[in-house]
C-alpha cells in the first residue's frame, strides 16, 4: 500500500522552537501568519509567524487558558478571540493599540460553569453565531453569541468532558466526547441526545493496556467523518455521517440524519502505545495526531469499495515536548505545544519539506 503512495509521502522538519515561562495549554491559528498560544498562568501570546516574535499579549487572567477560538472582526488585522478560562468564556478585541491587554480590556465575560467546575474546550460554529463548550463536570452547552442565551444539554457525560465539535452543515448539531468513553451527538437547540457511541474496551488482539478508552482528542472533516483518539492508543473513525461529495449538489444528497456515530460504519485500530491527546485533519483523507509523549503520526485513510478501511502510515516524527497538550495543522506545517521536563512552555513548528 505504501508503495502506491511513496511518490507523495510528506516529510516535516522542526524549523522553530518557541519557549514560554508557563506550560502551553492551548493553541490556535489566526490568519496564516498568526499563532495564538494560551498558557497555564492565564496569559496569551500572539506570535507573528514571519518573525516568530510576540506581537500582542494578554496577561492576568485568573486561570489556565484551556481553549482558544479565533474569529474575524470587521476592519481588524488581528483575529479576535474567545478564551476558555476557569468557569468563564472571555472575548477580546485584539486589534487595540495596546501591546499587552488585561482583564480590564475584556469585551464579554460569560460564566458557563458552576463554582466547582471548569471549562475544557470551546468551539465556534462556521457562521460564528454560537459557541459550544465542554466542562470537567461532564456538562455540554451552547451559547448564542448575540443574545448570550445558554442552552445546557439535558444529558451530561458521567465524567470529564474534554471534547466538543459542531457538525459541518448541520447548524443545530454538536458532538461531545469524554472520560466516560462516550461520544454523544446532540441537537443543541433542544438540548436532546440524537445518538451516542461508547468506545469498546481493548481486546487481547489489541494488546493489553492499563488505560481505559477515555476519549482524549477528536477531529472532524468537512465531509462529516468523525475521528477520536483514546487513552489506550486507539484511533476511532466514524463514517456514517460522511457526505458523498463537496460539490454544489452535496446538500441535495445529504441524509436527513447524521449517523456519524453508527457502529455499523466505523473503524477502530490501535496505532500508538500511549494516549492520543491531539489530532487534526489536513484534508478529508489524512489525519495527523500526537501521543501524550510527543510521537507524531500521519495516516492516509484508504476506504475500499467494499467499505473496508486501511490506515497507511505516511509519516512519523518525535517531538522534543515532554507532555503534549495541543496540535494544529495548516497546508504548510503543523504546530505542537505543551511543556518541557522542567514545566516550562514549548511550541514546535514543523514545516513540510519542499519536494526536490
pLDDT in tens, 103-125: 999 999 999 999 899 999 999 99
Instruction: Report CA dihedral (158, 164, 168, 170) to the nearest 10 degrees.
Output: 50
Half-sphere exposure of 82 (CA within 13 A, CB side): 24
What is the average pLDDT value for the chain, to the nearest integer?
A: 92
Q: Is the pLDDT of residue 183 over 90?
A: yes
What number is the average pLDDT over the span 310-329? 97
Q: Is the pLDDT of residue 346 over 60?
A: yes
For the chain, what percent of residues have pLDDT higher than 90?
A: 82
Q: Which three cell numbers stand for residue 2?
A: 505504501
3 vs 337 pLDDT, higher one: 337
Spatial contact of 126 and 168, defined as CB atoms under 8 Å apart: yes
Confidence of residue 31 (pLDDT cuts 50, 70, 90): confident
What number is the average pLDDT over the span 284-311? 94
Q: Is the pLDDT of residue 295 over 70?
A: yes
Q: What span, in angstroms and rounded, lies between the C-alpha atoms of 243 and 258?
A: 9
pLDDT score recorded for residue 79: 86
DSSP-derived secondary structure for 316-345: EEE-S-SEEEEEEE-SSEEEEEEE-TTS-E
Q: Which three cell numbers stand for residue 194?
A: 440524537
What number is the average pLDDT over the span 57-79? 91
Contacts of 51 (CB under 8 A, 6+ apart): none
Spatial contact of 135 and 161, defined as CB atoms under 8 Å apart: yes
Between the alpha carbon of residue 179 and those of residues 34, 126, 142, 214, the distances in Å are 32, 27, 20, 4
pLDDT score recorded for residue 74: 73
What number is the average pLDDT over the span 135-163? 98
Confidence of residue 73 (pLDDT cuts 50, 70, 90): confident
What number is the average pLDDT over the span 76-100? 94
pLDDT score recorded for residue 246: 44
Strand order in the sheet with 182-187: 161-166, 173-178, 182-187, 192-198
pLDDT score recorded for residue 72: 84
Q: Is the pLDDT of residue 186 over 90?
A: yes
What number is the average pLDDT over the span 236-249? 75
pLDDT score recorded for residue 43: 98
Q: What span, in angstroms and rounded, lies between the C-alpha atoms of 351 and 88?
A: 34
pLDDT score recorded for residue 355: 62
Q: Is the pLDDT of residue 251 over 50?
A: no
Residue 160: φ, ψ to 5°: -55, 135
What number is the average pLDDT over the span 159-171? 97
Cβ-defined contacts of 296-299 (< 8 Å, 24+): 296/12, 296/327, 296/334, 296/336, 296/350, 297/271, 297/272, 298/10, 299/235, 299/271
Confidence of residue 203 (pLDDT cuts 50, 70, 90): low
Lowest mean pLDDT among 103-107, 158-162, 208-212, 261-265: 208-212
pTM of the model: 0.93
Q: What span, in angstroms and rounded, lies between the C-alpha atoms of 294 and 296?
A: 6
Cross-strand partners of 12: 352
What number is the average pLDDT over the span 338-350? 98
Amino acid at each position: 500500500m505504501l508503495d502506491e503512495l511513496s511518490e507523495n509521502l510528506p516529510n516535516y522538519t522542526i524549523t522553530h522552537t518557541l519557549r514560554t515561562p508557563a506550560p502551553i495549554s492551548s493553541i490556535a491559528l489566526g490568519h496564516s501568519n498568526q499563532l495564538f498560544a494560551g498558557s497555564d498562568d492565564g496569559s496569551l501570546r500572539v506570535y507573528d509567524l514571519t518573525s516568530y516574535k510576540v506581537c500582542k499579549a494578554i496577561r492576568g487572567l485568573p486561570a489556565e487558558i484551556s481553549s482558544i477560538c479565533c474569529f474575524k472582526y470587521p476592519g481588524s488585522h488581528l483575529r479576535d478571540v474567545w478564551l476558555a478560562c476557569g468557569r468563564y468564556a472571555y472575548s477580546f478585541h485584539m486589534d487595540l493599540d495596546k501591546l499587552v491587554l488585561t482583564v480590564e480590556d475584556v469585551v464579554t465575560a460569560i460564566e458557563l460553569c458552576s463554582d466547582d467546575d471548569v471549562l475544557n474546550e470551546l468551539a465556534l460554529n462556521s457562521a460564528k453565531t454560537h459557541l459550544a463548550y465542554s466542562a470537567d463536570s461532564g456538562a455540554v452547552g451552547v451559547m448564542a453569541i448575540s443574545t448570550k442565551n445558554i442552552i445546557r444539554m439535558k444529558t451530561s457525560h458521567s465524567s470529564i468532558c474534554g471534547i466538543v465539535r459542531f457538525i459541518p452543515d448541520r447548524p443545530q448539531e454538536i458532538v461531545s466526547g469524554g472520560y466516560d468513553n462516550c461520544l454523544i451527538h446532540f441537537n443543541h437547540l433542544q438540548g436532546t441526545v440524537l445518538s451516542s457511541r461508547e468506545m469498546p474496551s481493548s481486546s487481547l488482539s489489541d494488546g493489553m493496556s492499563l488505560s481505559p478508552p477515555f476519549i482524549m482528542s477528536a477531529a472532524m472533516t468537512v465531509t462529516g467523518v468523525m475521528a477520536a483518539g483514546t487513552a489506550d492508543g486507539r484511533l476511532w473513525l466514524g463514517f456514517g455521517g460522511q457526505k458523498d461529495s463537496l460539490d454544489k449538489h452535496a446538500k441535495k444528497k445529504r441524509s436527513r440524519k447524521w449517523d456519524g456515530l453508527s457502529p455499523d460504519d466505523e473503524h477502530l485500530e490501535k496505532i500508538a502505545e500511549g494516549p492520543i491527546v491531539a489530532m487534526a485533519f489536513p484534508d478529508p483523507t489524512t489525519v495527523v495526531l500526537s501521543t501524550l509523549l510527543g510521537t507524531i503520526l500521519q495516516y492516509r485513510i484508504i476506504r475500499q469499495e467494499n467499505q473496508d478501511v486501511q490506515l497507511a502510515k505516511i509519516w512519523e516524527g518525535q517531538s522534543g515536548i515532554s507532555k503534549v497538550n495541543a496540535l494544529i495543522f495548516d497546508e504548510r506545517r503543523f504546530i505542537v505545544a505543551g511543556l518541557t521536563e522542567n514545566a516550562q512552555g514549548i511550541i514546535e513548528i514543523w514545516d513540510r519539506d519542499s519536494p526536490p
